[in-house]
Amino acid sequence: MISPNLDVILFEATVPVPFERAWVVQRQLQQRLLDYPEGPDTVVLLEHEPCYTLGRGASEAFLRFDPAAPPLPLHRIDRGGEVTHHAPGQLVLYPVLNLQRHGADLHLYLRQLEQVVIDVMAGLDLQGERIDGLTGVWLEGRKLAAIGVGARRWISQHGLALNVDCDLAGFAAVVPCGLGDRPVGRLVDWRPQLNAQQLRRPLLDAFASSFGLVLRPSNPQDGVFKL
């Protein structure tokens, strides 16, 4: 029998999801762990419909448009970090974890999420890079993965976004992560045959391995969380 601390429920969407819907589900999953901290962790894997998100303290100075009339849906949310862009072809992983099982250290948690991406890239024979003082993963000076998290009483939400074969045009309307001198990139520019669908399982496997978890599909006893 799998230990409850290692038994993690996977919720996976097969079509792009509006940000609002995914945020509702994250908060529902977070509240469930807040109410019952001994319950199983969960992880959500999806791609988003095109949008922008701002961290809780993010500056609108990094928007290259009027926030009252955004070119795509714009959401201010309760994660750390500045503005980022989501679009199909970008894999988004939202772990909802009781972090007291995983070190109870937000800085360690960010480094673990970076390691997940670095491990995925290593499987493609690419060397992902960290930059001192910054959060995320880079390749040859281009940022491929943005990471921003939030937590309530050590129950996490939000997570990482890895650019695989997404259209990067939407990033031109913002200063991604507030880093004007560090351009974004995507894996397909180094591995032209790659697509996001092919990388879903490697990303989940790297996440499970990094955190010592076992992923399983949801069942009726877990409740209904529709993405």
What is the per-residue pLDDT across 138-168, written as a single tens digit (0 to 9) for each?
Answer: 999 999 999 999 999 999 999 999 999 999 9
Please report where in the chains the tokens 């862009």 appear, as a residue.
Answer: 85
Contact assessment for residue 133 and residue 126, using Cβ atoms and an 8 Å cutoff:
no
First to last CA, the chain: 28
Q: Residue 64 gets which letter from DSSP? A: S
* Catalytic residue (one of 74, 83, 92, 177): 177
Q: Please write the tens of the pLDDT for every residue from 116-138.
A: 999 999 999 999 999 999 999 99
Distance CA 46, CA 90 (A): 9
Please say if 51 is a catalytic residue: no
Grouping H, G, I as helix, E, B as strand and the rest as coil, residue 225 is: coil
User: Confidence class of residue 4 from pLDDT cuts 50, 70 and 90?
Assistant: very low
Residues of the chain with pLDDT > 70, as a percent, come to 97
The pLDDT score that the predictor gives to residue 3 is 44
> What tokens does 42 get?
């969960």
Residues in CB range of 116: below 8 A, 6 or more apart = 93, 160, 203, 206, 207, 210
Residues in CB range of 134: below 8 A, 6 or more apart = 179
